[in-house]
Amino acid sequence: MPDLPPPTLRVRIDKAALTANWRALDAMSGQAKAGAAVKADGYGLGVDRVVPVLRDAGAEDFFVAHWCEALAVLAHIPASQLSVLHGPLSAEDARFARATGVRPVINSLHQARLWLESGGGLCDLMVDTGINRLGISPHEASDPLITRLEIDTLMSHLASADEDSPMNARQLAAFRQVLQNVPARRLSLANSAGIALGSDYAFDLTRPGLALYGGVPRSELDGAIAQVAYPQAAILQLRNLSAGDSVGYNAMFTASRPMRVAVVSLGYADGFLRCRGPGAALLHGESKLPILGRVSMDMIVVDCANAPELREGDWLDVAQHLPDAARESGLSQYELLTLTGRRFR
């Protein structure tokens, strides 16, 4: 097969910023060690790109959600450093964990039974302290199935760490109550936002995700976290509009004057959702190029008045400073990251 031609979508990963973000979060974790959540293909930036950088920065504990995510991560780290958060739902999952050495996170008595019946071994345990997603209930911590587990990391997950909510203290107290009855080598509660809550929440291991990749879930992280992903899209065609010409589906924009516009290789199939179109712009250097009309699956149209020098094939920057992009689009910073399409190279 011939080599692929040059892409019309690309994203630059600032490896130095990714390294600096992990080290900043590790320092903010105090006596605890920071791990790294790399689920959802490294939060949309690519496991093969981010895991080696985080590993070399010093991370030793990695987390994915699904079993199908494990092999890509294992290409870069030992199996003993990887945990699968969703745990074993079947005997096949348990056999895979035992065969590879990946640690399952046990979330229920059913999963504990599956794991023990498979032969057991080192695992992690999630206890629910108030978010009511995965995890055993605190009263189940004394169940014989749980007491038989060989637990490396006892963990829970904060529901409102990005807010100054009394729920944070309630979950902390509930976690402390459980850990008195569950022997484990390590304790882990804080995500990215939880790290900013201070040393009381850090315990032995923190599990940052969003902030590694440039997200700022709490103001305490402002200035410590740098942008990591810089997407760009190429201009496919330049067009001249006359007054009265409309642009895109449903003619949501109509030119009131002659205009020079660019058709850009970027659309909602690439994670640039329609909600990001109204009032937004792409960038060429310092010049803002307003988006005209609706975002299509594979294309958007921008006004080139502020950059008359543009040519077909030139690259435009997609504004992706996550806190700003979230405020402008109404999407969460998590959504903005993980929606990044596979067509970016």
- The string of pLDDT tens digits covering residues 163-207 is 999 999 999 999 999 999 999 999 999 999 999 999 999 999 999
Mean confidence (pLDDT) of the chain: 97
Q: What is the mean pLDDT of residues 263-267?
A: 98
pLDDT at residue number 341: 82
Closest CA to 63 of 90, 99, 39, 33: 39
Closest CA to 34 of 229, 212, 213, 173: 212
User: Over 90: is that where the pLDDT of 334 sits?
Assistant: yes
- The string of pLDDT tens digits covering residues 77-124 is 999 999 999 999 999 999 999 999 999 999 999 999 999 999 999 999
CA 328 to chain centre: 19
| Burial environment of residue 238 by CB neighbours within 10 A (0 to 12, 13 to 18, 19 or more) | middle
Name the band, by pLDDT with cuts 50, 70 and 90, for residue 14: very high
Residues with Cβ within 8 Å of 169's Cβ and at least 6 positions away in sequence, in order, are none
- The string of pLDDT tens digits covering residues 270-306 is 999 999 998 999 999 999 999 999 999 999 999 999 9
For the annotated catalytic residues, the residue numbers are 39, 249
Terminal CA-to-CA distance of the chain, rounded, Å?
A: 19
CA distance 185 to 180: 13
DSSP element (H, E) containing 192: helix 192-195
CA 282 to chain centre: 23
For 81, the token pair is 């450093």
Instruction: Give the DSSP per-residue string, 197-247.
Output: T-GGGTSSEE---GGGGT---SGGGTTT----EEEEEEEEEEEEEPTT-EE
Q: What are phi and psi of 240, to 5 degrees?
A: -105, 125
What's the length of the chain?
A: 345
User: Over 90: is that where the pLDDT of 55 sits?
Assistant: yes
| CA dihedral angle for residue 84, residue 159, residue 44, residue 304, rounded to 10 degrees | 180
- Which pTM does this prediction carry? 0.95
CB atoms within 10 A of CB 178: 24
CA distance 63 to 47: 11
Closest CA to 316 of 336, 296, 291, 297: 291
For 230, the token pair is 């810089």
CA distance 198 to 176: 15
CA distance 237 to 90: 51
Q: Determine the residue type at 210.
A: L
Q: Determine the residue type at 24.
A: A
Name the band, by pLDDT with cuts 50, 70 and 90, for residue 317: very high
Structural domains of the chain, ranges and CATH numbers in brackets: 14-213 (3.20.20.10), 229-338 (2.40.37.10)
Closest CA to 279 of 288, 287, 268, 291: 291
Closest CA to 141 of 108, 103, 104: 108
Q: Determine the residue type at 29.
A: S
